[in-house]
Amino acid sequence: MPTKIEVLATLQLVDQSLRAKTRTVAEGEGRVAALEEAVSAQTAAASAVRVELAALGVRQRDLEGRLTAAEAKMKDRRMRMTRIRNDKELGLARREVDLLKEEIGTLETELMAVMEQVEGSTAKLAGLDAELARLAAERDREASELRETLARLSSEIERERATRSELVQTIDGDLRRKYEMIFSRRGGLAVVEVRGGICQGCRMRVPPQLFNQIQRNAEVILCPSCQRMLFWRAEGEEASG
Ligand SMILES: [Zn+2]
């Protein structure tokens, strides 16, 4: 029949294992969720640039159309000029050609600016798409790793939970609650060994009188400095694990 502290030490082994496994799963889930979020943000950013590019494309085609029309009109006016003999009409025609030249210049400047914007946005989109592909691949890799982790750990977690409930039934409620409180507040270490008179939880020397009591393993004794439950293992047992 194991003593209370021995049962608690066994329970702690199960709890530490459970804690590590559930953490591994939670960390995997966290990584997948973070990547999922990054993929969404990147997709939204790429979509915004696509919308911007579509609008620029409309603008570019409009400017190109107007430029072609203005150039055709100017060509036509210049042809007509060669047939004009009247000075007044010639003056008006020259004026019109000058205005068309000005319009063409303005359209060309605008078109150049739009084409530069298209170039910039296209490069930006390529960068965003490359990063999106990288993130999506990383998310897929993490997701498949998580599935593997779950497949590997689920049954172990279930088995350990069953072991835990069996163990817990043999422990008095108050003692169990005390153990659980220390376990959660002291970084998953509630039951610690005393080796060479030193608490392995806080490295403080345990008073000799207390050490004698601990060696009997009869009752649950708390470390005076870190408040963990002290456990003593005979040398032979320690060696054999
Ligand atoms: Zn201690």
- Residue 205 alpha carbon to ligand 1 centre in Å: 8
- Is 15:164 a contact under the CB 8 Å cutoff? yes
Ligand 1 centre to CA of 185 (Å) is 14
How far, in Å, from the CA of 241 to the mean position of ligand 1? 21
Ligand 1 midpoint to CA 186 (Å): 11
Contact 223, 202 (CB under 8 A): yes
* Whether the model pTM is above 0.75: no
Convert the pLDDT of each residue in 73-122 to its tens digit. 999 999 999 998 899 999 999 999 999 999 999 999 999 999 999 999 99
Q: pLDDT tens digits, residue range 122-155?
A: 999 999 999 999 999 999 999 999 999 999 999 9
Taking the centre of ligand 1 as the mean of its atom positions, its distance from the CA of residue 229, in whole angstroms, is 8
Give the CB-side neighbour count of residue 115, counting CA atoms within 13 A. Answer: 9
pLDDT one-digit tens code per residue, 10-30: 999 999 999 999 999 999 999
Nearest CA-CA partner of 202 in 192, 213, 215: 192
